[in-house]
Structure formats: C-alpha cells, structure tokens
Structure 1
Amino acid sequence: MNGADAYSPLPLEGRTLLVLHASVTGTAIDIAERIGRRGRREGWAVTVKSVAQFDQAELLEHGLVVFVVPTTGNGHTPPQFVPLWTALLHPGLPPDLLEDLRYAVFALGDSSYGKYNWVGKKLSRRLDSLGAHAVVERGEGDDQNEWGVESTFPGWLDTFFAAVDPLHPPVPGFVPLPPTALPPARVRLEKVASPSSSSMPARAADAPLLWTDDARWARLVKNERVTAEDWYQDVREIELEIEGVEEDERTRLYQAGDVLELRPQNSPEEVDRFLETVRWTDIADDIYTVSASDPNQPLPPHFPTPFRTTLRYLLTYELDISSAPRQSFFEWLAAFSEGDKEEKLRWFCEPAGQDDLIDYTIRPRRTINEVLYEFREAEIPPEYILDLLPPIRPRGFSISSSPASHNGKVDLLVAIVKYKTILSVPRKGLATTYLSTLAPGARLPIRFDKSGTLKLPPSAAAPLIMVGPGTGVAPFRALLEERVRAGAKENLLFFGCRSASKDFYFRSYWDQLVADGVLTLSVAPSRDQEDKIYVQHRIPLFADQIWDYLQRDGYLYVCGSSTQMPKAVKKAMLAVVRDKGGMSEEEAEKYWDALERCGRLVEETWG
C-alpha cells in the first residue's frame, strides 16, 4: 500500500466506483463484471469499461478506481492498456497528480513466467509514485493454480468492499441485495416488429458489426491444407485480400511481425442447439430494440444506437456459446434454476465446490452449450442474454507474409483445432473451425494488431536467431522476406515439426534461402526417429554460431506454444551463454535479462 499519509484524499462525492479492465482472453472482463455486480448489490453506482473506452484524463475525475490487468507472456503489457500506461509514464507528471485517487489493482498472470503479474505490479508502483492511495493490497490471480483466479479473487473481493464501504456509507435504511437474488438485466429488449415485416430487416441477415474502429473487411483468396492428407493434423495456409485498398497503400497495410485479428462466428448448428435448449426458437428471429437498462452499464461501444436486432444475430455474431463457462456463468444460471439444479449450481460457486467445478467443466472441457443442455430446465428471460453469455473475443494469428512480398495480401498459417476430451467428446476450436469452413470469396472482418514486440531488427546487418516450432514459424517467414529484401545474410532458424514429410511448413522457401546462402536452417522432426528430437536439442550443435551472433549485437526470437517449449529453449540457450561466454549461472541469467531489457530477446508465445 501507499505509505505516504501526509495527504489524505478528498472524501468521495458519492458511492461511485469505476472498474477498468484490459482483457486478452476474457478473464479480465469477467472479473471486472463480477466486481461491478457485487458493488451494485451493495449500493454502489458502478461503471465497468475497457481501458480502450477510457480517456486518460478521466483519472482526475474519479475518486475510486479498480484496475483489472493481465500480464501477457513474460511481462508484456496488454495492447489495449498501452495508451493509458504510456500516459502514466510521462516524465512531466507531478508526483501529486493523483493524490485524490483511491485505487485497487487485481492482477492476472501465470506464475510459470519469471515476470509473474508484472503489469499489475508496475501499475501499482506507478500509481503510488503519482500520489494515489491503494485501499487494499494488490490482488493476484494465477493461471497455474488448479483453481485459477478463484483461489484468490473471492477473498480479495471481500477485503476490497470491506475497505471501501466506510468511504461513503450507503443511505440510512439501505438493504443490500442478497447474493442469491437476481439483479436487474443489463439490457431491455423491446419487440418492434415481426420477422414478416418488410419495413425492418432482421439484423441476423446482415453482415456482422465491426467490433472496433480500426477493423475492416477482407476477402478470402486461398484456404489450402499444407499438411499431408493422411496426417493427423489439418494445418491451412490462408490468404486474405483487404477490401478497398489503394495501390499505393498495399505495402503499408501492416509490417512483418504484426498479428491479424479476426472475430469468429458461431455455427448455425450451435446457435440452433442453444435456441432449442433455452426454448427461444419461436422468438429467435423476432426483431427487438436493444437498449441499456442502466447508464452505468452501457451497451458494447460498437453497437449502433438504436440497435435493432434478433436473438439469432446476437448468438451468431456477438456472444460466445462454445467456450468453457466461467464461474459467473454458473452464478447467473443458478438464478434461473430451482431445486436440486439450483443447489448444484450454487455449490459450484462456493470455495468448497471448486474441485467439483473443475471436474465438471475444466477436465472434460465442457462448453456453455453443453452445460446449458444439462441444466435445460432453467427459465432464462431473453433480456439476460448479455449477462449470461460472454462476448466473442477476437482471436489473433501471426502473419506469415510481408506486404511488399505479397502485394498487400495477408498470409496466415493456421492449425485447425480439433481433439477429443477425456469423455471422448469431439471438440473444435471456434475460430479455426470458422476459418476452415470458408471458401474463396468469403468476406470476413479483420483488424491488424501492430502492438506486438516482434519487429524487424533495426539493421539488416544485425544477425538474427529464430526458434519456431510448429506454426510458431509463421512470423519468421514474414521477417525473413523483409530481411532478404534488405540484404540480410546472417539468419539462423531452428524449426520443429513432427515429420519432415508431413508437416514441414514453408519447406521450399527455406530450402531456397539456404541455397542462396542467406539462411542456416536446423530442423527437429520429433517423430522421424525413435528418440524424440526437439528444437532445444539442436541448439547446442550451433553453439559457436549462436554465441558469435549474440556477441555481434544479434537478436533472438522465440515463437510458439507457451507450454514447455520456451523454458526448454531458454535452458539450452543459457547453457550456450555459460559455456561460450565463460559465465556462471547467475551471470548467464543476468546476460539473458539484459538481452530482454534492450529488446534483443523477444518471446511471442500462446496457449
């Protein structure tokens, strides 16, 4: 907490609270909404919003703010949080700028990374240095814990509201809404026309709304399988062409290392299943005007005003019915259930019921649609649709092309997610399944995420070491296309696949670069021999070249799965640094940290 007591912040002007979230996977949104619901039950006027909707100057207008911030990868700031964080770091800000702000931070992260909850920790320190006052110790959620965020969040939430309740007590006679009581719905649905009306077309028949101001439309040019037909995994090379691009804009659309985001859609079959389960089929195509019930709980910013739509449209384009349900889903579903079903759902929301919840949802990877079917007796009013269901979040894919080499088109390397659960139930990834069904000519909304850390080295003369198993190799093709155009000749790539004859992505391109003398390539086909070989096993074979590159201000990029690969690669690289640099383990770790601090070491990994 902030120990500076020389100045006490001004009293709160009202029982008001702002909750800001910077979500990547959706967890931060869920946590922020749960804080909001608890606050409203206890008489607070709570506004929950994304930092992307927040003007930095607003910090001076609020007396109490909660920040829910995740850390991505090894200490990286979520893209939408960058503008606010940059503003807070401005060197000209006075140390008493936020002296009237009370705040709390709940950080989200993964303790398997060295910089666990780094963004939340940095934010707390910076707010303190600007004079703000922490009302409680920072909360921290850990993805590595079996219970996840539920291992710490409920207790932190109790502590937070116990701390802020005296700051502006409720009006005399106020009675908090019990935890089991159903709060008001977030939206109002007013039926305005029947589907047969010719004067008002159904929103569901239209294209999806663009979810952000910088989203745009693209057309699918190519959707081709690149793994062998008899191979267990379907990996696609997907090519997109952005609509409405002037010729001179093509090479400036994006940069090598950028990420393409798209917002997938639920399949008609899954939507129909949901509608049948909740008994909304007869009203699915009725047209409603959707409006906010409370100005403190506005509609998503990309919804038009007025917003006339159908339940089918919302379920197809806006709301996620295929993801694993979070605890808040069970809290809402319990409010619509009775008897034993309600009792079971509420048990899942208790600390003592977390193991049972994990056994029911996480291990078998049950989806929202599947859970709803098991609790299909629930009577869910349609106006609670935005409360019950999370939004479909955009998915990011590393771009495997440079705009100059592909005349502005965008290439992706996409592994179609398909597997069976421990219950032998087939499961598919929402975004990759959506992509796999698209035929050339299909139109889809996309946006470019340019906030990543994977950028071209500033000079073509700088050597580059790349480690990219599987589809993690995708951004390296983009980088090498640009580097080769610029005359770069010192490039070392470690590529991991399972079989050199089945899933060796971009093989002809790598072979050409090797033949041209601008690439050293080491391939680790893990299943082509009895003993499994991974990229980390190839690293010692190139120790001299790696150390030479690093000594000459070279860069090291690691991309791919965030499971065990980054740790194994780091261990192998540290061994090279120790052996070739004559360093102790501690010195090698410091050398590694220095590479990361100066931007010469970048890890871009995903779960």
Structure 2
Amino acid sequence: MPAAATTIAPAVLATPLPADRLDSLARLTDGLDSNSLWWLSGYAAGLARSGAGTLATAVAAALPEARSSERLTIVYGSQTGNAKRLAEQLASQAEAAGLGVRLLRADAYPTRELKNERLLYIVISTQGDGDPPDDARGLVEFLAGKRAPELKNLSYAVLGLGDSSYPQFCAIGSKLDTRLAELGATRLFARGEADLDFETVSTPWLQQALTQAKETLKPAAAHLATVTPLRPLPAAPAFHRDAPFAAELIANRRLIARGTSARGAYSADKDIRHIELSLEGSGLHYQPGDALGLWPRNPPELVQAVLETLELDGDASVSHGGHNLPLRQWLGEKRELTKLARPFIASHAAHARSDELNRLLAPDNAAQLADLLSRTQVIDLLQRYDGQWSAEELVAALRPLTPRLYSIASSQKAVGEEAHLTVAHLQYESEHGPRWGAASHLLAAAEEGERLPVFIEHNERFRLPADGNRDIVMIGPGTGVAPFRGFVQDRAADGAGGRNWLLFGNPHFRTDFLYQTEWQAALKSGQLHRLDLAFSRDQAQKVYVQHRLREHGRDLYDWLQGGAHLYVCGDATRMARDVHAALLSVIAEHGGKSAEAAEEYLNELQQQGRYARDVY
C-alpha cells in the first residue's frame, strides 16, 4: 500500500472528494426527497460509467436509451481538442434536428455494443506520424483485432484529422474507414481528410453527415424523456479559441542560459522561458493538465524575407475567403510561414517547374520528404527553388495560421488569475539567415505589459486523481515538466495525502535543470516525495528518463500496484515511445507477466484513467 495512506476514524465516511466538493455536494442534496436522491444517484452512476466527463455523455446515460436503429452514435478520438469540438458540433446539430444522439469519447465507447449499432460517425485525429490519439488506442486495437464483430447492419462515415507535414497524414482515419468496411459495414459517403486548416474539409463533411443522418433516422424526440438539469448549464465563456482574450504578460524570464553551437549560432533548445500571463477580467478558468492556446504572429523579418524573395508588394490588397487585407497582414497574421506542408511543396513544385521537388513527392521518397518537412520552412523552399507567385496565389496556397498549445505550468489554487508556461524558444541560424518558431519567438520577444491573444484548451484526459490520497508518478523531461509544476502546486493547495514522484531529464544538470530551486524546496517541504533525474550528457553513456524507469522498476511497479496514477508529458516521436517501452519492460519483469499481459496491464491503466499522456 502507498506510504501516504491514512487511517480514518470509524465515524467518518471515507471519501475521494476534497472538502470544497463535499460542501458543494451537501448544498446540492439539501432538501431533496428520496425520489430526487435516487434519481441523482443514477445520474452520478451514468457519469462514472461513461468515463468521458462530459455533460452530453452524462445526460445520455440518465435518459432512457434510444433504440440503436433510431440513434446516431458519434465517437471521437482527440489529442488537441479539434476532433472533440467537431464531434460536439455535429452532435449539437443532430439534436437540434430532433435526432436521437449519443456522443462518446473513444475510450468511453462500450465496444460490446458495436455489433448492435446502426449509424456510427467517427471523428478522429492522427497523432504524430501515424499514431492514434491516446483516448482512441483501445478502440483502434479492438477494431484491428480478432474480437471485432461482423458489422453487416452498420452504416458509417469517418472524418480524419491530421497534419500533412507528416508522411502518414490521417492514417488512423484511413485505417478505421478501411477496417469497418472489411467487417461488412456500409460506408455512407467518402472519408474526410482534414489538414490543420480543418474547416475547409470538416464543414462540408459535417453538413453531409447531418443530411445523411436525417434521411436515415426518424426524429427521436418522442422517444426521449424530458429531464430537468440539476443546475443551469454554465454559460459559454466570453473568450475562447475564436474569440481569444488579450492577456497581459507579467513575467518573462530565462530558466537556462542560451548556449552556442560550433558555428556560433544560438542552439534551438537552449533558450527556455518561464512565462506568466494575467487572466484577470477574462473569466477564464483551467485545471492542472489543461493547455493555454496562443494565436501567434509571424516575425516581421520573416514576412519581409518572403516578400523580397518573391518580389511582391506587401501593401498590395488581396481578397480571399471573404476578407480583403494587405498582403503583409495576410503573411504576418493569417498564414503559416514557419511550418511547411506537403500541399505547398506540390504547389511550389509547379510554380518553380522543379523536377527535384516533384521526385520528392513520389510515394517511394517518403523518408526524404519527411526530412524536408521537418527541417525546412516556407522561406527556405522559396529561396532554394525559384518560382513566380502572385500575391493572390500565395495567400490561397499557404495554410491558415493555427494556434499553438502550451501545457499550463501552474495551478490557479496557487497563482490565482494567472497562467504560467514553460516555453522552448525555437531560434536558429540557417544559410540564408535567422529562423524562428512563430509562437515561441512571439513569447520570448514579448515585454512585460504586452498583451497576447490566448484561450484555454481543456484536456479532460490529463487530470489529477479525484482521490487526493492516490500516489502520482510524473514523467516529464525537458519542457514536458510544465504540467507537473501545476500538479504539485494543486496537490499542495488541497493538502492531498498521496505521494508525488517526479522523473525529469535534460542534457546537463548545470544548465538544464528547469525549476531546480522549486523542486528542491518542494522536496524539503514534503510537497514532492521523490525526484529522479536523468541528465543525458553529463557522462560518457547517455542516460534518459526511460533508463531511470528501468533502474527503479521495482519501486515503480509497487506504486502502480498500490493504485498510483502515471503521467507522461513531452516529445511524442521518441521520448513517449521509449518511455512506453520501458513501462512495458518494468511491468513484465516485476509483475512476472508476458509481453502480451504487460501490454494488457498498461491498457487497463489507461482505460481506468491511471495512465495519461500529454505528448506532442
């Protein structure tokens, strides 16, 4: 059992709820009769059964179940929130049309019910280079496995979201679409594949989905009971993704010194910033694990370089998508310049009449294309391959600028109306001049008093345990440590009894130990119970957090067996995969399990909400 377990007097009812939630519960139930209390217990059971934590799912559980032949089921798998928003939009439109609808996150979908479904829409993103979002891993594995049933009575459609900067663009949506057809289901209409500017694909797909659902289903209002909400639904926040809040920058300090490369250029990973923004007056609230969205602006120097390279007039007026703006404003505020995408390479290949670029786009050159996408910005492509563009063509071909999400490195219980971030400033020298990351450079260059457009992106999959007596294990190398600063602050504010174990890694102890004094103070005060460090380049043999996991495998397995929750945050391409492999190794070795049983054990933790990842 965890060392932090406490003994509770027999007269006191054990509860996982913190004191403030118990007070709210007492006020809620005060004066309710027995019938109301029984109804409330069923409502709460529906919440627990759904596991999704959304009102739509909870209410669906409390309502009489519509027959599957008269119901639309919408399942979403989302890593950054876009797929979730689109699924919720479709569910809201279907409900307004009088259709019976249930909306479920993929990890809350009861796969045993799949054989009885009649109409299913799946909205799912692809994470990184061909991986499912964490909340959809179980569903993807189930459908790919031998236990997946025949689905001859099912009609379905799939909307995939992805990033064309990766070779396996929308791979998960494609995989599910193909697999459902293999199982005998009927595809109602073509799969949608949406890039980062997803609205151009998602808007017509959602309209087609709604039209098809209306034709397939009868309005189900007659089958649903009327339910009075326990309390009024909270009003939509005044500030959100499409209406950001202008937050004042109140602190911007380096956590480590900038280093230099052999060429004398600044290293890309050596300027890490601690950023503090004021949310005062916004009404915005967040929980530990949530992200702050920032709408970036491209550096003026980069915009000018594009204009000069293409010999275009920045003051020229350009009309596109119902907006008329100067070209300089399009490039600075509305178009993506620091992230290169495959469609733009294809467009520039045509404008430059480049056989080399066309060869890169061939299917058998996927590795070379991936390398180009990872190392090249728009300006590099324009300078390397001469091509003639008009202002109108350029604006139409470039992707819309999208917000960047940063894990929040604070708890509002500790900092009030503020949000703190841990930001790696991307800045390096290329052969043609300096290059930057749009959002990180905006933050790093901002001065106190400046206002930046932000919003809150909630992450229901990455939450502290409701039971404060549960132990937590936090694995966060580099800037992946950010949310765990908020976790520890929050648990300290609540007086949580569970232990907190942090595993942190970076190249060097001397220069790269982010929040060193804070972690040392937390250890001394008892807010942090264990800290294991992996500084990869302080010795001849590189040591990473996954090595520390294996080294302390016995302790880790004991914590997990005692009910601990496990969290991973950081790089998705290498670190998260290596950590996942290390966890499987630890579970197999210290749990005496086969590789298959270890995988099942970890999947079970994920389904229970005890293994959560925030990877990017």
TM-score (norm 1): 0.64
Residue 440 of structure 1 and its aligned partner are, at CA, apart by: 0.8
- 1:465 partner SS: strand
Contact 2:474–2:501 (8 Å) recurs in 1? yes
Does structure 1 residue 258 correspond to structure 2 residue 287? Answer: no
* Residue number in structure 1 paired with 2:481: 473
2:600 aligned partner, one-letter code: K
Note the C-alpha offset of 1:142.
Answer: 11
Percent identity between matched residues is: 29
Deviation at 1:374, TM superposition (A): 3.9
Residue 511 of structure 2 corresponds to residue 495 of structure 1: no
Per-residue CA deviations over 1:255-282 (Å, capped at 9, x if unaligned) read 111111112111111112222333331x
- After superposition, the Cα gap between the structure-2 partners of 1:505 and 1:383, relative to the gap in structure 1 and judged at 3 Å, is same
Structure 1 pair 23–373 and aligned structure 2 pair: CA distance change class (3 A): farther
- Post-superposition Cα deviations, 1:510-559, rounded to whole Å, max 9, x if no partner, equal 11221123421122222233333222232345445423322221111111
Partner of 1:566: 576
Equivalence map 1:76-91=2 (5 Å): none
The equivalent residue for 1:172 is none
| Contact 1:22 1:51 survives alignment (8 Å) | no
1:469 offset after TM fit, Å? 1.1
| 1:532 paired to 2:542 | yes
What letter matches 2:373 in structure 1? I
Matched, 1:437 2:445: yes
1:449 paired residue among 448, 457, 465: 457
Label 1:425 to 1:132 Cα distance change in 2 as closer, same or farther (>3 A): farther
Query: Are the equivalent residues in 2 in contact too, given 1:218–1:443 (CA < 8 A)?
Result: yes
Q: Does 1:484 align with 2:506?
A: no
Distance 1:155 1:133 in 2: 17
Q: Which residue of 1 aligns with 2:309?
A: 277
Q: How does 1:381-530 map to 2 (within 5 A)?
A: 382-419=391-428, 427-489=435-497, 490-518=499-527, 519-530=529-540
Aligned to 2:91: 56
1:205-238, CA deviations, whole angstroms, 9 ceiling, x for partnerless residues?
xxxxx98345212011111011135585111101
**Which structure 2 segments of 5+ residues have no match?**
1-75, 98-102, 178-187, 190-238, 261-266
Judged with a 3 Å threshold, the aligned counterparts in structure 2 of structure 1 residues 460 and 333 are, in CA distance, closer, same or farther, namely: same
Q: Secondary structure at the match of 2:510?
A: coil
Residue 310 (1) aligns with residue 310 (2): no
- 1:560 Cα deviation after fit: 1.6
Count of residues in Structure 1 that have an aligned counterpart in Structure 2: 469
Show the 5 A alignment for 1:100-179. Answer: 110-111=129-130, 118=137, 121=140, 133=155, 147-149=167-169
Q: Compute the RMSD of aligned alpha carbons.
A: 5.0
8 Å Cα contact 1:561/1:605 also seen in 2 = yes
Post-superposition Cα deviations, 1:255-313, rounded to whole Å, max 9, x if no partner, equal 111111112111111112222333331xx335566554xxxxxxxxxxxxxx4432221
Q: 2:377 aligns with which of 338, 343, 367?
A: 367
> Cα–Cα, structure 1 residues 353 and 469, in superposed 2: closer, same or farther, change >3 Å?
closer
- Closer, same or farther: CA 334–492 of 1 in aligned 2, 3 Å: closer
Instruction: Tell me how far apart the structure 2 counterparts of residues 23 and 596 of structure 1 sit (CA, whole Å).
Output: 15
Q: Does 1:587 align with 2:597?
A: yes
How far the C-alpha of 1:399 sits from its partner, in A, is: 0.8
CA change 1:349–1:550 in 2 (3 A) is closer
Shift, 1:371, TM fit: 1.9
Mapped to 1, the partners of 2:459 and 2:135 lie a distance apart of: 21
Stretches of structure 1 that go unaligned for 5 or more consecutive residues are 1-20, 30-49, 63-81, 158-166, 169-209, 293-306
Q: Which structure has more helix as a fraction of its residues? A: 2
User: How far 1:143 sits from its partner (Å)?
Assistant: 9.2
Residue 577 (structure 1) shift: 2.9
Contact 1:111/1:143 (<8 A) preserved: no
* 1:333 paired residue number: 348
Post-superposition CA distance 1:81-120 (Å, at most 9, x none): x889799989999967649x9x999967645779798599
Determine the C-alpha separation between the residues in 2 that align with 1:318 and 1:550. 46
Instruction: Determine the C-alpha separation between the residues in 2 that align with 1:129 and 1:473.
Output: 44
Q: Which position in structure 2 is the counterpart of 1:223? A: 252
- Helix, strand or coil at the partner of 2:570: strand
